[in-house]
Amino acid sequence: MNVPAAEQPHPNPNGHSSTGGSAAFRTLTALAAGGGLVFEGVAVIFFLSRAPAHHTLGSTAELLPVVLSTLALCVVSAGALGGAAWALHRAKHRMASQLTGLLAVTTAIAIWQSVDAANVIFDGSTPTAHPTKVVDTYSRKNSDYAAVTSWRPGGGTISVRVDRVGGWNLRPGDPATLVIAKGAFGRPYALSLEKRAAQPAASEPR
């Protein structure tokens, strides 16, 4: 049975069919995208494991520059990989397109988590302890928090995740000590929250 000329692979000058070259490209691209996913997962897990348990703090003015920079990096990286995925999809490389699209999403997440970890790992500041007082304890989205009085000008309260920094036994009204650090990127974070012994009341002179 003769194959119509329109369906026959066209040999290139090197003697290899275009169909074979396309299949090899699909395989190599899929392997590269899959390998990228595996490497990214292992690298991020290793990197995050080096950062001690912490909870990011800071006012909007302190967090906004870092958050916006990180978000921009996530968008650019995801956009580049997303564009590659779309190009592969247009070229009918389905598996490679799907893996590259998944890599675009995981890369954005990995960058976000890695910047937070790097802020702690590369922080050269000396942690400082601040005396504070527990105002309230509550749960939100399967996480436990303690609201403590702020030592900063203007007062107010600061919410700290006790499942990350400790303080499970704290109750409203308890005196406590919150240990914080500045962060390598100026993004302050809490390292520990512990109950502080109450100061004995001064005795009145007789």
Pairing of strands 128-140, 175-181: antiparallel
Q: Give me the mean pLDDT over the 153-177 stretch.
A: 86
The whole-model pTM stands at: 0.66
- What percentage of the chain has pLDDT greater than the value 90? 16
DSSP helix, strand, coil percent of the chain (3-state; round to 5): 50, 20, 30
Who has greater pLDDT, 110 or 88? Answer: 110
Instruction: Please provide residue 23's backbone torsions phi and psi, each rounded to the nearest 5 degrees.
Output: -65, -40
pLDDT per residue as tens digits for the range 126-147: 999 999 999 999 988 888 889 9
Q: Give me the mean pLDDT over the 99-122 stretch.
A: 85
Q: Give me the mean pLDDT over the 82-107 stretch.
A: 80
CA distances to 13, 76, 100, 199 from 85, rounded to whole Å, are 29, 14, 5, 63
Task: Give the pLDDT confidence score for residue 21 in this predicted structure.
Answer: 58
Q: Give me the mean pLDDT over the 112-135 stretch.
A: 90
Exposed / middle / buried, residue 159 (Cβ in 10 Å: 0-12, 13-18, 19+): middle
Task: Give the pLDDT confidence score for residue 132 in this predicted structure.
Answer: 93
Domains and CATH numbers, the chain: 21-121 (no CATH), 128-195 (2.40.50)
Task: Give the pLDDT confidence score for residue 7 in this predicted structure.
Answer: 45
Give yes or no for residue 179 having a pLDDT over 90: yes
Q: What is the mean pLDDT of the chain?
A: 78
Q: pLDDT confidence of 6, banded at 50, 70, 90?
A: very low
